């Protein structure tokens, strides 16, 4: 797939029982995705669709964004245009950053009491496996899904990346988030990053 190792992106994530093909069909029907760029079992890459700008609002004064793939683009080439990548895993609550969490500077909050978990970094070795711990503030048992990374990371079994948009530059519309919920029968979250999901976490549905 395209090389996006350090490129900025807007990422949507959810846990859902739907198949990857069902999500792709829904995104295609909405016009969010267009022509296929490259595809594999667990990853699909697409040009932005006709209604992309109705789904994502770009902030600032007329940012210049390239949406056309360069000619003779290779599958492992560097992607310097804005495109959409859809990824699937078989495991629910897969952390997008997984082994990269130590590099995050954001302090997560407890989803229950909304308090910042200051000592989260000491718990990083447990975040790659099945784990749970008690919130130091409210004592609720927390799992991966109970951590709010404040738009810096997320978890799920389905991910949609909008690659090559700067942090906080693109904001999804409420209508699009509702459309995603309708397609998947699940709530979606979004965040911003310049890191790839770890390849070994991906698996075909």
**Per-residue pLDDT reduced to its tens digit, 99-149:** 677 778 888 999 999 999 998 877 766 655 567 788 999 999 988 778 888
* Model pLDDT, residue 112: 94
Rounded to whole angstroms, the Cα distance separating 130 from 52 reads 36
Are the C-beta atoms of residues 17 and 10 closer than 8 Å to each other?
Answer: no
* Long-range CB contacts for residues 113-122, cutoff 8 Å, separation at least 24: 113/137, 113/138, 113/140, 114/148, 117/147, 120/147
* Model pLDDT, residue 41: 73
> Is position 2 within any domain?
no
Q: What are the b/e assignments for 171-191, b being 16+ CB within 10 Å?
A: ebeeebbebbeebbebebbbb
**144/157 same-domain check:** no
**46/67 same-domain check:** yes
> Is position 72 within any domain?
yes
**144/188 same-domain check:** no
Angle at 156 between CA 122 and CA 145, to 5 degrees: 45
**71/85 same-domain check:** yes
**16/44 same-domain check:** yes
Rounded to whole angstroms, the Cα distance separating 176 from 56 reads 8
> Is position 99 within any domain?
no
pTM greater than 0.85? yes
* Model pLDDT, residue 125: 64
**14/69 same-domain check:** yes
**140/174 same-domain check:** no
> Is position 177 within any domain?
yes
Ranges of residues in the chain with a pLDDT under 50 are: 204-205
Q: How many domains does the chain have?
A: 2
Quote the domain boundaries for residue 188. Answer: 9-94+150-201
**173/88 same-domain check:** yes
Q: What is the CATH number of the domain that holds 31?
A: 3.30.310
**124/23 same-domain check:** no
* Model pLDDT, residue 126: 61
**29/129 same-domain check:** no
Rounded to whole angstroms, the Cα distance separating 38 from 2 reads 8
> Is position 158 within any domain?
yes
* Model pLDDT, residue 124: 62
* Model pLDDT, residue 11: 96
**14/74 same-domain check:** yes
**177/195 same-domain check:** yes
* Model pLDDT, residue 144: 73
> Is position 191 within any domain?
yes
Q: How many CB atoms lie within 10 A of CB 16?
A: 20
């Amino acid at each position: 797939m395209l090389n996006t190792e350090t490129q900025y992106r807007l990422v949507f994530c959810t846990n859902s029982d739907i198949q990857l093909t069902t999500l792709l069909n829904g995104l295609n029907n909405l016009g969010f995705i267009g022509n296929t760029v490259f595809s594999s079992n667990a990853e699909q890459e697409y040009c932005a669709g006709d209604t992309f700008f109705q789904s994502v609002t770009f902030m600032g004064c007329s940012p210049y964004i390239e949406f056309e793939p360069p000619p003779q683009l290779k599958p492992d080439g560097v992607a310097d245009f804005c495109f959409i990548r859809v990824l699937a895993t078989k495991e629910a609550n897969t952390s997008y950053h997984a082994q990269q969490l130590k590099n995050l500077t954001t302090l997560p909050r407890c989803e229950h009491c909304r308090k910042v978990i200051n000592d989260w970094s000491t718990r990083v070795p447990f975040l790659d496996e099945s784990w749970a711990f008690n919130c130091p503030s409210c004592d609720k048992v927390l799992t991966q899904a109970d951590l709010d990374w404040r738009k810096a990371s997320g978890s799920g079994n389905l991910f949609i990346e909008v690659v090559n948009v700067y942090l906080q530059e693109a904001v999804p519309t409420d209508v699009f988030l509702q459309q995603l919920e309708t397609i998947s029968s699940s709530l979606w979250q979004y965040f911003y990053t310049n890191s790839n999901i770890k390849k070994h976490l991906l698996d075909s549905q």
